[in-house]
Amino acid sequence: MPIAVALILLVVGSLVFHFLSPWTFTPLTSNWSQIDDTMDLTFVVCGIVFVLVNLFMAYCVIKYRAKEGSRATYDPENKKLETILTIVTTIGVAAMLTPGLFVWSEFVNVPDDAHEIEAIGQQWHWTYRLPGEDGQFGNVDPRHITHENPFGMDPSDPLGSDD
């Protein structure tokens, strides 16, 4: 019973803190309000799930507490329950990701005048490669990677001679 009370107090305390808290999210920027709205939606959905799961746990602790004359059964596997929980979780995660993907696609657009580059990140060092005057990258092959040739550019490829 103390665990159930603690769970209920956790939910009530969290809700009171949230609604009476002076802290709020700072908007990212004026032109990214869709991302802020998506973050708010995610926060609200996670808050609702938090409240429901904790109240359900408190309910289970109260309903299935130890009673005189009742004996608990050990049932470690329940394929039907596991399947239902897996499906519900999958749908929930997909539903949480979908709005964010739509909003993100609004902001991730390659400009028409963008230049393609290749970059290799190494510890304490970055190496970049730009296409030459022909606008094409030469072939690379891991067998050609050396300290002086980190991209593994094929020395026999004429397209790579100006990279």
Give per-residue pLDDT as tens, 25-59. Answer: 777 667 778 888 888 888 888 999 999 999 999 99
Same domain? For 129 and 103 the reply is no
- pLDDT, position 160: 78
C-alpha angle 47-53-58 in degrees, rounded to nearest 5? 125
Count of structural domains, the chain: 2
Whole-number average pLDDT of the chain: 87
Same domain? For 54 and 8 the reply is yes
Does some domain include residue 112? no
Confidence of residue 147 (pLDDT cuts 50, 70, 90): confident
- The count of residues in the chain is 163
Q: How far apart are the first and last CA of the chain?
A: 72
Domain around 152: 118-160
d(CA 113, CA 77): 58
Q: What would the mean pLDDT of 85-112 be, rounded to a whole number?
A: 89
- pLDDT, position 87: 98
